A and B are shown apart, each in its own frame.
Chain A
């Protein structure tokens, strides 16, 4: 039974790259396009083992999404990784305060991505 990852990113390119890297590593990938969509999808899908989210998104950004996840009873203990650019420690800290478990630096190296996922997924 492969692990399930929910990826939330408004960029089609990013979603495709995440799908490729995670899919190749044997994960089942579910995708959402922004924070609001992510929260909606979370309610209907099987519980993910890990969530990966971008920060800059329309409608609801990564911070709002993480906060939303942490507020929900069902998902508050699901590991969340944020996609962040290397130079933005402010954003990273903010994501952490919102409840992010860890982070992945963009542009991501597929191996590092899988590594990060593994580190936080039970």
Chain B
């Protein structure tokens, strides 16, 4: 990839980080934390985005960021107090900024009206009249191009004693007359500050030399005797006659950095005459420091040359300058002498000083996790074989294996932790969502989050956003009442949505609760009846009614509103949670609110499974899908067609699926009373009873993809390797249940057609 393109990718990644910093900083400010650290961090986030955007010429983004940055600068400088209103505007501006970033990255556009609206709001805060556009400064122009005359007069009474008269002639702005050669006279007297800032006359002269021919002379008349010499004081002045075809501003530019730290005049020859001193001082021979010093010494009463003198003379001259500049000796000779022995670029490369983190390719981590999974399997196999070989449990080998098992588990946990991320990254998107949904539904909402540091495997994190988004939308759209209604009910006008995450018994539990009106049970019941999802006279507990919302095809919005609708109902949420091996439940109190509880495994790489035998095969069923297991009794089993059975479980008839037959392991069906039935819940709450031969036990297994190694197989989700080395297929419960229904539907259709 072109290196600049690669940096652009980095830039957009960095923008995401900055945007999230911006959001959390603004939220903190909303809570009243307006200390300088927080405000500065917010400013820097926008400043950073703007800087990078400018480098890539992302104009709309730059323009918006600029306005935002100006506002933040005012807050930072104390000119604008960050009260609630201001922060609210800034939060909305942050949203627009994020849109600009994404538009720049993905090639879209931000709705002009919205962007302008926020820009105007920000400018109103700045106290400026709204600008139609922000003019991008001409970056290439030198600042202060129309330069004003440089006054030469100097406080030190420079020059009077030595006849070196400063010329305070006004500098007439001469139009550069094309490339004709002209002579210029440049007088330069550095002040201490020039050297203190590590500027060097020699370098300035070198730059002048690049413009044309120069003749340089030095005026050392100010130089005191050695006894009075201050090493860091500036005493010298230079006069340069420059013959060049460049313009005055080009010459001026050479001194750009030292402007103010020296006395400088630049005059064109044909305008002024040379000062008298010039004649005497100009010389074609290199200036003789020795002579100067000797002369100075002669003025002072005989003082023997101190040893320091020798060093001054020995100090290496700056090679390019034709004049020996008597720079203060304390300034060490630059880089030439210090040929680096140990340049340590790697020390600083990529090391983020603040948090001691490193960046690792995700592929490497995934590979590591795979390998550790294999390690766990291998260790289990080894343990099994050792046990089977009859080695006594108390032997060294057995004990060594125990140690190995502990170690392996620890490695596995540690490795899983590498990929574990705090849910913060998912939670962070929610405040914006809440703002948007609240605005769209005309409700006032406060979002409270808890436990955003709770960690979950990366594989799970990515799949969390959608379910949580839907639940929050649901909570605001259907759960929370409008402010007037709330007030009438004796509540505050602002509703609260609480989002929390925590670890509980080896899983992660996420709750989304609201303090709204709760589930309207009679209405839900009626809708379910109307949609044919339940029988009119069915006897359902409150909990059962609440759970009706998870049934496919259920949607309480009479007009599918833009946000909660889109054809997506809670059933889709439930399915995606179950796809992750999780569970979802709802509790509700009328008038007080509802709580959705999600429980998820910590990782998708490992599964809690029920190991079962089917024919001579070993299969694994995900524990989360299993509701209960039971021993079928003959009187509970009914045939409802050829090869179709149902089993009565507490007054409901549930389809009984012969897993062995279904997977093609056996041709004659299993006698239900000889096997075990696993009551499972699959797609959309559909239940089925899976007939297996026997239950072997419960175990945590490492999931290995079948698709990656073989191909997708109907009814099978993945595979694992058991301790004894056998491959066990992991059932895809949803799939099995759905397949059974389809089959049934087909055979029903056939029967109907035949009949």
What residues make up the interface of A, taking CB atoms closer than 8 Å to B? 1, 3-4, 10-14, 16-17, 20, 28-34, 36-37, 40-41, 44-47, 49, 56-59, 70, 76-80, 85-87, 89, 96, 99-103, 105-109, 112, 119-122
Contact = CB atoms under 8 A, between A and B. Distances in A.
B203 A14 contact: no
A12 B10 contact: yes
A44 B48 CA distance: 28
B229 interface: no
Interface stretch (B332-340, B440-448, B486-494, B560-568): B332-340
Contact of A13 (B10, B137, B198, B343): B10
B203 A107 contact: no
A28 B339 CA distance: 13
B335 A3 contact: yes
Can you list the 5 inter-chain pairs with the closest CB atoms, starting with the nearest? A46-B340, A102-B257, A122-B334, A107-B54, A37-B353
Contacts of A4: 335, 340, 343
B225 interface: no
B343 A45 contact: yes
22 contacts: A3-B335, A12-B13, A14-B52, A16-B7, A17-B55, A20-B7, A29-B345, A32-B353, A34-B354, A41-B347, A45-B347, A56-B40, A96-B197, A99-B197, A108-B55, A109-B140, A119-B203, A120-B199, A120-B203, A121-B334, A121-B335, A122-B202
A76 B197 CA distance: 8
Q: Pick from B195, B202, B207 the residue with the most CB of A within 10 Å.
A: B207
Interface string B241-274: 0000000000000101100100000000000000
Contact of B353 (A16, A34, A100, A102): A34
Contacts of A100: 197
A44 B6 CA distance: 30
B318 interface: yes
Interface in B1-17: 3-4, 6-7, 10-11, 13-14
B105 to A, nearest CB: 13
Counting chain A CB atoms within 10 Å of each CB, the highest count among B139, B257, B336, B348 belongs to B348
Contacts of A46: 338, 340-344
Given A14-B55, A45-B348, 18 more contacts: A1-B339, A13-B55, A14-B48, A14-B51, A16-B10, A29-B345, A30-B343, A32-B353, A33-B354, A45-B342, A56-B44, A70-B196, A77-B195, A101-B257, A106-B55, A107-B55, A121-B203, A122-B203
B406 interface: no
Given A49-B335, A79-B199, A20 B353 contact: no
A16 B55 CA distance: 12
Given A36-B353, A107-B139, A45 B334 contact: no
Interface of B: 3-4, 6-7, 10-11, 13-14, 40-41, 43-44, 47-48, 51-52, 54-55, 137, 139-140, 143, 195-200, 202-203, 207, 254, 256-257, 260, 318, 330-332, 334-336, 338-345, 347-349, 351-354
Contacts of A12: 10, 13-14
Contact of B139 (A3, A41, A47, A109): A109
A17 B7 contact: yes
Contacts of B352: 33
A122 B335 CA distance: 7
B51 A106 contact: yes
Contacts of A122: 200, 202-203, 318, 334-336
A112 B55 CA distance: 13
Contacts of A40: 353
A74 to B, nearest CB: 8
Contacts of A49: 334-335
Given A45-B344, A86-B137, A102-B257, A13 B196 contact: no
A56 B139 CA distance: 20
Contact of B354 (A20, A45, A59, A77): A59
Nearest to B144: A89
A86 B380 CA distance: 66
A119 B201 CA distance: 11
Contacts of A44: 344, 347
Contacts of A1: 339-340
Contacts of A87: 137
Nearest to B41: A58
B197 to A, nearest CB: 5
Nearest to A1: B339
Contacts of A96: 197, 260
A102 B10 CA distance: 28
B335 A13 contact: no
Given A102-B256, A106-B51, A79 B335 contact: no
Given A13-B7, A36-B353, A59-B354, A103 B257 contact: yes
A38 B331 CA distance: 21
Contacts of B345: 28-31, 45
Nearest to A34: B353
Contacts of B40: 56, 58
A36 B352 CA distance: 12
B495 to A, nearest CB: 36
A119 B208 CA distance: 11
A29 B47 CA distance: 24
Contacts of A58: 40-41, 44, 354
B349 A31 contact: yes
Nearest to B7: A16
Contacts of A108: 55
A107 B203 CA distance: 25
Contacts of B351: 33
A119 B257 contact: yes
A32 B198 contact: no
Contact of B348 (A11, A41, A70, A86): A41
Nearest to B4: A20
A59 B195 CA distance: 28
A31 to B, nearest CB: 5
Centre residue among B196, B197, B199, B347 by max chain A CB count within 10 A? B197
Contacts of B51: 11, 13-14, 85, 106-107
Contacts of B199: 79, 101-102, 120
A31 B7 contact: no
Nearest to A78: B198
Given A29-B345, A34-B353, A57 B44 contact: yes
